[in-house]
């Protein structure tokens, strides 16, 4: 392994893409940015402790004593380095320090699929019922990096004029024209609304893009690319420039979108996990949207390499928060060896070496005409291809050169082949799609709860496809996440909670076309109580997920658009319920005003866990060996007028809770009738490394209304 590497690498940068759901860090007072400080391989001496070394470097350059929030991640398992928030001058000083190989900026996030809507049950064509007249009157506001107006996904062929309620404008800057599909554009960056990144084009086409047949990434993932509501209109609000997204822009975009008459807002941008609602621009903007009857759908955020508790950036109950899961389509990239053996790795490798064999070299600089094999990512511009080890169960990522990321066992057999063979040879094949029935499972990068502000409010709310999604892209942006890539494409593959969010915005819009009168909380409840449970096998803790088991990653489960049309019972919330919730969190009139934008005083307070939310969560003091908590809820009947719902409690694997519902049967005589009940949950000696969970089901024989119940201890974060 060489001591120094050149500035190009794959893996550290790949990691950094996961560091935030953001294209720039929002709400950052010292204008610090996340950088990855790559320090090469791990020193072999036993007394070396990477994290304290990282902290001492950080302390030296920042002069700050607390590393809280500065050190984002230490890389210490397969190579040395860390990710930290630094100012530009701190970045320069770090780069000059001994042992530092290179410093990469946190640029943009990653990856999204043609097959995802089929996977979710919203099939193409006549099998899916649609209310096309209303769908065409539905406007989705996308707060993002702009949009590529000429993309086929946004062609207005067959569209009539914008809906009458539309009050927005098309001010996309020079050489930017809207049409009857892309009806609005506003710029907060002075760059023009044209998307130079690809992210905004990708998310908009996922939510509401036209069905475009025969799309692929150089043949990979081929099929029809389409949004959840292809007949709906799009308004693009560009808040991210090429270098940053600012909270000021985000707030301005909310302000405009609400006034322009959008029906829904989708936002796949986030800052650091917030500590107070009034410090979180997205919470504030979305509060105003909720007050005007507009639902905000927001990405949960992406975490560094390993799942870490309490990193979720979207924590308000008036927002629908979305985590990322996989679909049953997976991209694999095979490596074939001279001995005939085939190894299976991951990547989105569109390059075809046509099976030609090349010499394999292990961690060597002399790579010209050869395939580099390395445990650590490093520059290999002269190499024909590179093969690295994947220690973190990644998704596949677009590469700028032939590439495959092998899981440790496959990688080790490659290394022993090289070590035991006189002239080791191999080739990297073009990526292919496989069907993987173990889905949905949560993506490793999807940010986990618990909620950093309201400990008794479960977040995220739901999950949706966010791994290896093919959707429209900006032809100004290179498709590869790393390196220099001269290719330009109209459709590309991305992953992230950013990609999951517009799937749920599409589902929410789809529901609204059948139920235009439903409030944001009714739509949110319908989506949350009709989910698929995650794959049963995901409740088994893996070594990397000990601290972050399933509900803190997947919330109520995976969205089911068809079931959500007909939820039976819903949990409704109004603006005053949200204010009572904030009062219950002891927000003062002053801070309430920062959120609600108007003078509010607390009259009724609600214990946060009694907010009429479709999930139930309680944090228990670690000093309580036994506990009893009560949740109060009220449901509204939107199903059959004359109906009787019976309750049932279903415990999840390993859960030792006991729960009682009172009354246990609810009878309704008419639609919109409300009935209240309580759920009393008790238990003892909670597992501190895992929340205990159960499901409350209300069923009338037709509708199954499921709420997850999660109880965890207050030392869960530091077991
Ligand atoms: C407008 O933008 C498109 C896309 O970048 C480009 O092809 C075209 O040449 C531009 N037209 C003008 C007049 O700049
Ligand atoms: C799909 O695209 C490929 C090339 O991109 C082309 O060869 C093929 O004819 C197209 N198929 C259809 C059905 O349009
Ligand atoms: C994708 O392309 C392959 C190979 O051309 C073809 O067999 C497959 O049917 C295509 N899939 C879709 C969904 O069009
Ligand atoms: C949060 O907002 C309060 C004002 O409500 C302010 O005093 C405080 O400094 C902010 N904290 C952070 C971390 O931004
Ligand atoms: C290669 O084999 C030698 C001994 O045969 C061993 O010492 C060395 O660790 C092996 N290298 C790798 C990378 O496995
Ligand atoms: C299928 O997906 C599961 C969960 O993500 C994963 O553990 C497994 O390795 C995948 N199977 C294949 C054949 O890739
Ligand atoms: C769960 O895992 C077991 C053993 O690995 C496997 O046989 C089973 O098919 C899996 N179940 C699902 C639903 O994926
Ligand atoms: C991308 O779309 C444009 C039209 O918008 C088309 O001219 C161009 O050929 C497309 N590029 C590819 C690679 O398909
Ligand atoms: C709010 O204040 C009350 C009274 O001081 C206290 O008992 C309660 O724990 C506080 N609630 C929160 C969420 O901080
Ligand atoms: C925790 O224990 C205290 C003292 O025994 C008790 O008053 C309190 O109700 C318990 N809390 C819960 C949630 O059970
Ligand atoms: C309502 O349902 C009950 C029991 O299912 C039935 O006995 C009663 O006749 C129904 N009433 C009406 C008005 O349909």
Q: By the 8 A CB rule, do 181 and 124 touch?
A: no
C-alpha 316/C-alpha 282 separation (Å) is 9
**Which ligand 7 atom is at minimum distance from the Cα of 535?**
13
Number of the ligand closest to the Cα of 283? 4
Q: Which numbered ligand comes closest to the C-alpha of 626? A: 10
**Which own/partner contact pairs does 74-77 have at CB distance under 8 Å and 24+ positions apart?**
74/50, 75/12, 75/15, 75/50, 75/305, 76/42, 76/50, 76/51, 77/391
Q: Is 585 in the pocket of ligand 9 (CB under 6 A)?
A: yes
**Torsion sign, CA atoms 633, 636, 639, 644:** positive
Q: Determine the Cα–Cα distance for residues 26 and 36; give it in Å rounded to an integer.
A: 18
Q: Is the pLDDT of residue 250 over 70?
A: yes
User: Which of 268, 256, 248 lies closest to 185, judged by CA?
Assistant: 256
* Whether 81 contacts 58, CB under 8 Å: no
Report pLDDT for 4: 22
Catalytic-residue membership of 195: no
What is the residue-wise DSSP string for 611-645?
Answer: S--SSEEEEE-TT-SEEEEEEEEEEEE-S-SSEEE
Residue 284 pLDDT > 60: yes
- Alpha carbon distance 503, 499 (integer Å): 7
Q: Which stretches of 553-625 are assigned E, i.e. beta strand?
A: 569-570, 616-620
Q: For ligand 10, which residues put their CB under 6 angstroms from it?
A: 620-621, 624, 627-629
Q: Mind listing the pLDDT tens digit for each residue in 589-609?
A: 888 888 887 788 888 778 999
Average pLDDT for 549-564: 90
User: Residue with the nearest Cα to atom 3 of ligand 6?
Assistant: 438
* Structure confidence by residue, pLDDT tens digits, 77-129: 434 677 788 888 888 888 888 777 667 664 332 222 345 777 776 777 656 78
pLDDT in tens, 345-390: 999 999 999 999 999 999 888 899 999 999 887 767 789 999 999 8
Catalytic, 144? Answer yes
247's CB contacts (< 8 A; 6+ apart) are 26, 27, 271, 281
**Atom number in ligand 6 closest to CA 332:** 14
222 ligand 3 Cβ < 6 A:
yes
For the chain, state the CA radius of gyration.
25
Per the listing, tokens 């917030």 go with 274
- Active site includes 44? no
């Amino acid at each position: 392994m060489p001591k120094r590497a050149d500035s190009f690498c794959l893996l550290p940068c790949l990691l950094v893409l996961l560091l935030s759901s953001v294209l720039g860090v929002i709400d950052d007072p010292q204008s610090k940015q996340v950088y990855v400080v790559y320090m090469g391989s791990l020193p072999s001496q036993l007394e070396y402790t990477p994290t304290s070394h990282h902290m001492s470097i950080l302390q030296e350059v920042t002069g700050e004593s607390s590393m809280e929030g500065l050190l984002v991640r230490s890389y210490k398992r397969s190579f040395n380095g860390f990710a930290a928030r630094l100012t530009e001058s701190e970045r320069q000083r770090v780069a000059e320090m001994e042992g530092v190989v290179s410093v990469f900026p946190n640029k943009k996030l990653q990856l999204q699929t043609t097959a995802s809507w089929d996977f979710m049950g919203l099939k193409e064509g006549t099998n899916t019922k649609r209310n096309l007249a209303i769908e065409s009157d539905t406007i989705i506001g996308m707060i993002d990096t702009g949009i590529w107006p000429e993309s086929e996904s946004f062609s207005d062929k067959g569209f009539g004029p914008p809906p009458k309620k539309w009050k927005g404008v098309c001010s996309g800057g020079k050489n930017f024209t809207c049409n009857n599909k892309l009806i609005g554009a506003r710029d907060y960056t002075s760059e023009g609304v044209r998307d130079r990144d690809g992210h905004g084009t990708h998310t908009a086409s996922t939510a509401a893009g036209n069905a475009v047949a025969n799309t692929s990434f150089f043949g990979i993932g081929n099929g029809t690319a389409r949004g959840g509501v292809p007949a709906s209109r799009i308004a693009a609000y560009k808040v991210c420039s090429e270098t940053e997204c600012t909270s000021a822009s985000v707030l301005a975009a909310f302000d405009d979108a609400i006034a322009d008459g959008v029906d829904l807002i989708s936002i796949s941008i986030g800052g650091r996990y917030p500590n107070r609602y009034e410090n979180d621009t997205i919470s504030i903007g979305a509060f105003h949207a909720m007050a005007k009857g507009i639902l905000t759908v927001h990405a949960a955020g992406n975490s560094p390499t390993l799942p870490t508790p309490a990193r979720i950036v979207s924590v308000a109950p008036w927002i629908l928060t979305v985590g990322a899961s996989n679909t049953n389509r997976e991209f694999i990239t095979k490596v074939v060896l001279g001995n005939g053996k085939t190894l299976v790795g991951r990547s989105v490798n569109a390059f075809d070496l046509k099976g030609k064999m090349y010499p394999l070299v292990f961690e060597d600089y002399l790579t010209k005409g050869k395939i580099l094999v390395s445990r650590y990512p490093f520059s290999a511009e002269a190499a024909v291809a590179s093969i690295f080890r994947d220690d973190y169960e990644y998704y596949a990522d677009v590469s700028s050169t032939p590439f495959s990321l092998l899981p440790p066992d496959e990688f080790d057999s490659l290394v022993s082949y090289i070590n035991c063979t006189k002239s080791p040879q191999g080739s990297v094949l073009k990526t292919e799609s496989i069907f993987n029935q173990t889905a949905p499972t949560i993506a490793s990068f999807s940010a986990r709860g618990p909620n950093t502000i309201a400990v008794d409010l479960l977040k995220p709310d739901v999950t949706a496809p966010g791994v290896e999604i093919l959707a429209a892209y900006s032809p100004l942006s290179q498709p590869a996440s790393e390196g220099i890539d001269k290719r330009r494409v109209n459709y590309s593959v991305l992953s992230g909670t950013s990609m999951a969010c517009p799937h749920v915005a599409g589902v929410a819009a789809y529901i609204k076309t059948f139920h235009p009168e439903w409030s944001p909380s009714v739509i949110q409840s319908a989506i949350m109580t009709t989910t698929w449970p995650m794959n049963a096998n995901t409740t088994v803790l893996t070594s990397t997920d000990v601290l972050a088991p399933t509900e803190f990653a997947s919330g109520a489960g995976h969205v089911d658009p068809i079931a959500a049309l007909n939820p039976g019972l819903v949990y409704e919330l109004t603006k005053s319920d949200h204010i009572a919730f904030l009062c219950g969190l002891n927000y003062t009139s002053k801070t309430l005003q920062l959120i609600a934008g108007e003078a509010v005083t607390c009259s009724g307070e609600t214990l946060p866990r009694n907010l009429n939310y479709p999930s139930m969560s309680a944090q228990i003091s670690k000093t309580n060996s036994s506990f009893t908590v009560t949740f109060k809820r009220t449901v509204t009947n939107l199903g059959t007028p004359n109906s009787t719902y019976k309750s049932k409690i279903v415990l999840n694997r390993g859960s030792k809770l006991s729960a009682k519902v009172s009354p246990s049967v609810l009878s309704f005589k008419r639609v919109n009738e409300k009935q209240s009940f309580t759920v009393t949950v008790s238990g003892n000696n909670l597992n501190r490394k895992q929340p205990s969970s159960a499901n409350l089901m209300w069923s009338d024989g037709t509708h199954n209304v499921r709420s997850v119940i999660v109880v965890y201890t207050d030392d869960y974060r530091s077991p």
